[in-house]
């Protein structure tokens, strides 16, 4: 059965280019509209399986349209956004509202940009069509919540207070995630207490221009300090390290101290920052019994072998369950390898991490 796809973009050229990509791919029934209001209306009339949604549009922008879509007829949405810091922040806002994934537009002419992202776009749209959008509603509704969040943003970072003294830790938490990961991480990391005893290293598949703004956003809402691992850094408690996009991230031993550092992308791995590369480096430099590894939502199999090896050597591993994962690919691969100590929905992972780390 064909996937019903709604393309939303104010550029006629972009709509045509996107339509040609999916027409050539086959298996899609498509409609295209030019602004957010038309997207909201067509979501009800056409009832698509998945939507590609631009951010900057006239009449109604993509973020506001997304809030209306999730409130009226929740539908998997893939955001199509620029590779700028502003575009990254808007994308994270969209993921918080329930978008499944995003595709970053590279710089350059539209035709060349589309060619660069064609394979990624097709894969993410197909995955999104099978995904469950995470709708975060409430009494005030998504549209009202969006207005409140935008109004409160300048003040949020001032509300976070950290009194934890940094020190070398006796354990380590690894987290791997991909499609659906940013919003899932937003539901987990801010709920960890300021005295959580282990440092946390996160490999979230993301382009290089997005991980800095993502770390900054998370730092504004977490009790623990959140940093982008864009240079060699000592691994200390009270800190969450976000792997820099456009690179891989490894744990290394320097003069007897554990460090996290970026390195060029491995040509032997498909996704970056690579969860597999991170996990293998931890196995090389840490006792597995001191490691907790968490596999969250995402398509593909990145990190499954390394995390299964961590469990085999005495470490503890968590896989997000199918009922909460936006895309069950990465957790399923870990489970299929008998690599999960426990399988839990996202909202139960927080308490399990706290129990393991404190015991």
Which residues are catalytic, by number? Answer: 178, 205, 302
- SS3 string, 299-314, reads CCCCCHHHHHHHHHCC
Alpha helices (runs of H) in the chain, residue ranges in sequence order: 12-25, 36-45, 62-72, 85-97, 110-129, 141-156, 181-188, 208-219, 275-285, 304-312, 329-336, 346-358
32 touches 18 (CB < 8 A): yes
How many other C-beta atoms are found inside a 10 Å radius of the C-beta of residue 141? 14
CB 14 within 8 A of CB 110: yes
d(CA 147, CA 144): 5
| φ, ψ (nearest 5 deg) of residue 274 | -75, 125
CA-based nearest residue to 118, from 210, 22, 28: 22
């Amino acid at each position: 059965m064909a996937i019903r796809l709604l393309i939303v973009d104010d550029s006629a050229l972009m709509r045509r280019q996107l339509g040609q990509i999916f027409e050539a791919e086959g298996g899609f029934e498509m409609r295209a509209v030019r602004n957010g209001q038309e997207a909201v209306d067509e979501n009800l009339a056409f009832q698509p399986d998945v939507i590609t949604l631009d951010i900057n549009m006239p009449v109604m922008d993509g973020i506001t349209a997304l809030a209306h879509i999730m409130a009226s007829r929740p539908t998997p949405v893939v955001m199509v956004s620029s590779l700028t810091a502003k575009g990254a922040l808007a994308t994270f806002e969209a993921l918080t509202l329930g978008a499944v994934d995003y595709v970053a537009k590279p710089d350059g002419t539209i035709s060349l940009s589309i060619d660069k992202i064609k394979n990624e776009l097709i894969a993410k749209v197909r995955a999104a069509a099978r995904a469950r959008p995470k709708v975060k509603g409430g009494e005030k509704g998504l549209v009202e919540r969006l207005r409140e969040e935008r109004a409160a943003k300048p003040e949020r970072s001032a509300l976070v207070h950290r009194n934890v003294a940094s020190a070398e830790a006796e354990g380590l938490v690894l987290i791997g995630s991909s499609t659906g990961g940013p919003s899932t991480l937003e539901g987990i990391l801010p709920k960890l207490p300021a005295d959580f005893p282990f440092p946390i290293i996160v490999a979230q598949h993301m382009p290089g221009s997005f991980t800095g703004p993502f770390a900054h956003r998370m730092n504004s809402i977490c009790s623990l300090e959140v940093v982008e691992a864009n240079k060699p850094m000592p691994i200390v408690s009270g800190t969450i390290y976000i792997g820099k996009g456009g690179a891989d991230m490894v744990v290394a031993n320097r003069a007897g101290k554990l460090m996290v550092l970026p390195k060029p992308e491995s040509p032997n791995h498909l996704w970056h920052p690579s969860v597999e590369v991170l996990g293998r480096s931890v196995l090389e430099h840490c006792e597995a019994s001191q490691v907790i590894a968490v596999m969250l939502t995402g398509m593909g199999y990145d990190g499954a072998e390394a995390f299964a090896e961590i469990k085999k050597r005495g470490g503890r591993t968590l896989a997000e369950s199918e009922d909460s994962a936006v895309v069950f690919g990465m957790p399923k691969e870990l489970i299929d390898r008998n690599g999960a100590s426990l399988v839990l929905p996202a909202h139960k992972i927080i308490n399990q991490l706290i129990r393991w780390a404190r015991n």
